[in-house]
Amino acid sequence: MMDTLETSVLALDGGGTRCRLALSRGSEVIMAETGPANISTDFAGAVAQVVDGLARLSSATGQSAETLANCPIYIGIAGVTGAEIAERFAAALPFRKARVTDDRPTALRGALGPRDGVIAHCGTGSFFAAQIDGNTRFAGGWGAVLGDPASAQWVGRRALACTLEEVDGLRAVSGLGTQMLERFGGSAGIVAFAGAAKPVDFGRLAPVVTDFAAADDPLAQAVLAQAGEEIAATLRRIGWRTALPLCLTGGIAPEFHPWLPTEMQEACVAPVGTPLDGAIALAHDFAREVRHEHH
């Protein structure tokens, strides 16, 4: 069976909700799924998830884990903060030829395929990326404390901050602000929640904000309008220009579409694939590099 793996590649897309590992050979893709992984917050746990994924993929394909580990693999995984940790992670895994990056390149390639364009990825966190004339550029992804503008947690946090401005008489009282004060038991309750909340806890408030915005609540609409401005300004800085395709990816991103400038709204296109599709495409690119080095 080994000869069938000559041009096969492995690809891994790993993040806060799950890891997906795939074998791509010819037109066939076989996939296995395991739990969440972040190599910054739990390095050993991330290694264990990938090793478990390899075992599951071995069962699914009928190939031994050792045989699969000989295939080139591209790994896009959460928590890669630089080359040092990426190299350390690759060394901790059983794969002979591995390239490890954070999970942004796979999302970019998955959404756009090989074509030029930009993406705004807004989930619990956020990042922005451009793929233009064969060059990629990334911005954001620095986490909730220092960044992640226009993410779900940012929307929740902005709504609470603006509610406290209403309490101080700096803003007109709104339905959303009133709802937040009731939900948390006043301003003291909001401060107590914010002190203990994780990004995902703030993120759970985002659907409340988008619902109020749909009902023309001025505070909710101001928060989403600010998110739209953040997205537009960042995408322009990383190279977006009129008519360049723009993908909004991630759970909350589609909510910002109406709040983007008209020319950006008109440039929006649906993603052509998933981050796993991106990892597979990048794995094939990596395999070509590896083969080229050997010739």
Q: Which fold has domain 2-108+274-294?
A: Nucleotidyltransferase; domain 5 (3.30.420)
Say yes or no: do domains 2-108+274-294 and 114-271 share a fold: yes
pLDDT of amino acid 295: 61
Within a 13 Å sphere around the CA of 84, how many CA atoms are in the beta-carbon half?
2
Other beta carbons within 10 Å of 179 = 19
Give me the pLDDT at residue 124, please. Answer: 83
Judging by beta carbons within 10 Å of its beta carbon (0-12, 13-18, 19+), is residue 173 exposed, middle or buried?
Answer: middle
- The confidence score (pLDDT) of residue 47 equals 97
Right CATH for 114-271 from 3.90.79.10, 3.30.420.40, 3.40.30.10, 3.40.1350.10: 3.30.420.40
- Beta 28-34 vs 19-25: how paired, if at all? antiparallel
Structural domain boundaries in the chain: 2-108+274-294, 114-271
Q: How confident is the model at residue 125 (pLDDT cuts 50, 70, 90)?
A: confident
State the pLDDT confidence band at 3, using cuts at 50, 70 and 90.
very low
Nearest to 31 by CA among 286, 273, 280, 283: 280
Over residues 199-214, the pLDDT tens digits come to 989 999 999 999 999 9
Place of tokens 């190939």: 63
Rg of the chain's alpha carbons, rounded to an integer? 21
Q: What is the pLDDT of residues 221-270, one digit of tens each?
A: 999 999 999 999 999 999 999 999 999 998 899 999 999 999 999 999 99
Sign of CA dihedral 39, 45, 50, 51: positive
Do 17 and 24 meet the contact criterion of CB atoms below 8 Å apart? no
* Whether the Cβ atoms of residue 69 and residue 54 lie closer than 8 Å to each other: yes
Provide the 10 A C-beta neighbour count for residue 246. Answer: 25
pLDDT at residue 179 is higher than 70: yes
What's residue 263's pLDDT? 98
Task: Work out the mean pLDDT of the chain and round it to a whole number.
Answer: 94
DSSP label at 268?
Answer: B
Please give the share of the chain, as a percent, with pLDDT higher than 90. 85
At 82, list the tokens.
Answer: 């630089």
Q: Is the pLDDT of residue 2 over 80?
A: no
